[in-house]
Structure 1
Amino acid sequence: MFPFIIIFIMGLFLILPQQVFAIPAFARQYKVSCNTCHAAFPRLNSYGEQFADENYRMPNWRDTVLDTGDSMLALPKYVPLSIRAMAYAQVREGKYIDPVSGETEKADTDFQAPYMIKILSSAPLSDRISFYFYGILAEKGENGTVIVEDAWFSYSSIFNTGIDLMIGQFQISDLMFPRELRLTFQDYMIYRMAGITYDRGVIFSKGFDPVSIDLGLVNGNGIEENLKINSPGYKRPDHMFDNDRKKTAFGRIGVDIAGVSAGLFGLYGKQKTKLTTSAGTKSGSRYADKKIYGLDISGNVNDKVYYFFQYLYNDWGKYFDDTPNKKYQWWGVFAGVDYVYSDKVVLSVLYNYADAGDFDGTSTVYEGININTLTLTYSYYFMRNVKGIIEATYDFQSKDNDPDFVGHETKEGYILIGFDAAF
């Protein structure tokens, strides 16, 4: 009950800040420097957030389209494409451990190049409609597999109501802190653990200055294609992106007080249960309630020091088929500070903590929700859009001493050095 009391009290002081996914295509389109929207790539400044408020375009966007003599056609003068590429070398403690057999593979030193190559694009298509997408050409050693992650249309003030619409594929967690805009290599771990990253659906947004509200609905099963439609007959071409009739609803409400932003998040949906056998990696036969409650706070000091905090409380209902009368709750936080020391140097700190709660002692992979790490990152900007990073993560947890192969079987600290560029 205590977490709910905290969230209720903080809910009186909330805001929903709009976010923008700025890319170099925007800089080329409007002939401006990256630092127009970025305090330090990819971290946004206040103008970058304002850019989102105007549906991802500047007031002179019409000057950037091809003159066809047709007022009903707004084609960019060139296809707006950008590339983001990353390459790293790591020394780390983490290793692969099969959760059932305990089979282990370890590489203490690892050249991760390319770590990721992305192609990005966005353009205003009318006075009210914009489109954005990015796809991955290579990720974490998988070459030759193209994956589209963000891909959505946005429509400002549908039917002149002041309600904005976004429909497509996106990260639910972007309502709080977009993972793609973080300065650290280390992730915002509780977003991944809670399963509130990529999904397909719709978001409606409305501002009541200074309060803003977002309400959304998604399939609730990620972004994988699920079922072929074959009920009318043989070899039908379409697919169902959802694999059941259940949807996941979520929302966020907020307010901005003296430059400090805070937000209250809530989600309700269903998710397939798991079996405790095979370390919880096999699906069960039921659906369990999925409830998530969150609190986020952020702000900056003189556009130099940016701070952020996220709390998530997860109630996953009767999650295991083997224990149908037991409910499972867990919680986690992350917090960080980015200090823009100069045009060349940015220092970042990120702390990740999660408590597996009721999953402790289940001998399933969900014991691995437990995390307690501190990350320090030094970013050096050779150019506005090219940076080198040195990052170290320290793991405060002790390794498990139990006989199973799940949980904290190995430490997860690392030292990383590499490049991140967008062009």
Structure 2
Amino acid sequence: MNERREFWHPRGLLWIVAFAFLTMSVLPESGFGIPAFARKYRLSCTTCHAPVPRLKAYGEDFAGNAFQLEGKEPARFFRDTGDPILTLQRELPIAVRFDSYVRFQTKEGMRKSDLQTPYGLKFLSGGQIAKDISYYFYFYLSEHGEIAGIEDAYVHFNNLFGTDLDLMIGQFQVSDPLFKRELRLTYEDYQIYKVRVGDVLTNLTYDRGIMLTYSAGTGTDVVLEVVNGNGKGEASPEQNFDLDNFKNVALRVSHSFGPVRVGGFGYLGKEKHRKLVQADQGGQWVNVTDNLRYLGADATLDAGKSLQLNLQFLQRHDDNPYLVHTGAMAVDTKGFIAELIWALQGEMGRSFL
């Protein structure tokens, strides 16, 4: 027996007005907000963002270079400790992001408005530990009115062995090599990345593991991820984060052809749980597993500096998502993302649709 489900983005009749979308940095010695990296390099936020939080190509390169500008690291920002390995920053680079919305919705013939402020409030920090080694994390103080805790938290090793090979270790979003959820401009989320099927914990949002990235220098980028596969939940009573003895693997390959970038994505995973069956007859504990996979393709088209079109198709297959001992039912889930970003006054402007 097979079940089919589909998720589409954007969806429904939903009108969203971005009331305030601010990213700011809080300095220990002052009360005004300046983004930490902009303050360090004395650059405008628009050097990397257009608009905040969406990254431009320069911002993508900066993040991919472990938050360093090659040959432009300001000596004034670091303390001389006499240790050639340690990069000790004079001030902790911290920031606060505050998101607010006004939402208008028509549902069942009724019109409703909602002031969603704050919609999200997060504390961020990131910077260098040593040459070509950096860290990044953020803590959600409030997400939809609840404390979400730590989400991104990783250490980034840049240019391993003198090559364009990078390694990230920690907690990150599996979907980051595709389209970054935290940098989207839309109110509506990328649902196909978030969906969990049946009783299975795996999706393409936060997970713990390692990520290897390699740029061939010819426009081709390769990303390999190895993750636990069960999200960012609490450790078990045995102090294990991975709840089974499997690791899930994802591979992303993309290539740029001038203003067009196309990519392919694959993910293979397996999840095992212990379940009690025949409880009315004394019960027996058995292992039940779900084998799952994602396959997808995506494309980005940059039409000058004013228009960008992002497209993504993903299909997920689970052979036993309800984790039953007998009579397993396979489920196929499909999702499509279409996103058009229009900078009305160019990338240096303040108006975007």
Q: Work out whether the TM-score is over 0.5.
A: yes
* Partner secondary structure for residue 271 of structure 1: strand
- Give the count of matched residue pairs: 298
Residue 346 (1) aligns with residue 349 (2)? no
* Partner secondary structure for residue 175 of structure 2: helix
1:212 maps to amino acid: D
**Normalising by structure 2, what TM-score?**
0.78
Deviation of residue 177 (structure 1)? 0.5
Residue 116 (1) aligns with residue 127 (2)? no
1:377-410 deviation per Cα after TM superposition (whole angstroms, max 9, x unaligned)? xxxxxxxxxxxxxxxxxxxxxxxxxxxxxxxxxx
Classify 1:170/1:22 alpha carbon distance in 2 versus 1 (closer, same or farther; 3 Å): farther
Alignment root-mean-square deviation, CA: 2.6
Residue 245 (1) aligns with residue 245 (2)? yes
1:217 maps to amino acid: V
* Partner secondary structure for residue 176 of structure 2: helix
1:236-285 deviation per Cα after TM superposition (whole angstroms, max 9, x unaligned)? xxx2111111111111111111221111100011235899xxxxxxxx96
Q: Which residue of 2 aligns with 1:328?
A: 331
Quick one: which of 141, 148, 152 aligns to 2:145? 141
Q: Distance in 2 between matches of 1:107 and 1:241?
A: 44
Deviation of residue 162 (structure 1)? 3.7
Quick one: which of 127, 137, 140 aligns to 2:131? 127
Deviation of residue 163 (structure 1)? 2.1
Does structure 2 conserve the Cα–Cα contact (< 8 Å) formed by 1:273 and 1:319? no
Quick one: which of 189, 204, 212 aligns to 1:196? 204
Deviation of residue 109 (structure 1)? 4.0
**Normalising by structure 1, what TM-score?**
0.65
Classify 1:300/1:242 alpha carbon distance in 2 versus 1 (closer, same or farther; 3 Å): same
Quick one: which of 51, 54, 60 aligns to 1:43? 54
Q: Distance in 2 between matches of 1:82 and 1:158?
A: 28
Query: Which deviates more from structure 2 when the two are superposed, residues 52-61 or residues 118-127?
Result: 52-61
1:206 maps to amino acid: Y
2:250 maps to amino acid: F
2:352 maps to amino acid: V
Q: Which residue of 2 aligns with 1:28?
A: 39
5+ residue gaps, structure 1, are 1-20, 96-105, 230-238, 276-283, 348-423
Does structure 1 conserve the Cα–Cα contact (< 8 Å) formed by 2:78 and 2:89? yes
Does structure 1 conserve the Cα–Cα contact (< 8 Å) formed by 2:24 and 2:97? no
Does structure 2 conserve the Cα–Cα contact (< 8 Å) formed by 1:22 and 1:48? no
* Partner secondary structure for residue 231 of structure 2: coil
* Partner secondary structure for residue 156 of structure 1: strand
Among all aligned residue pairs of Structure 1 and Structure 2, give the percentage whose two residues are the same amino acid: 35
Deviation of residue 124 (structure 1)? 1.4
Q: Distance in 1 between matches of 2:326 and 2:111?
A: 37
Deviation of residue 88 (structure 1)? 2.6
* Partner secondary structure for residue 289 of structure 1: strand
1:349-370 deviation per Cα after TM superposition (whole angstroms, max 9, x unaligned)? xxxxxxxxxxxxxxxxxxxxxx
5+ residue gaps, structure 2, are 1-22, 26-34, 197-202, 276-285
Residue 72 (1) aligns with residue 85 (2)? yes
Q: Distance in 1 between matches of 2:330 and 2:45?
A: 48
Q: Distance in 2 between matches of 1:260 and 1:274?
A: 46
Deviation of residue 159 (structure 1)? 3.2
Decide which structure has greater helix share: 1
Residue 224 (1) aligns with residue 227 (2)? no
* Partner secondary structure for residue 26 of structure 1: helix
1:52 maps to amino acid: A
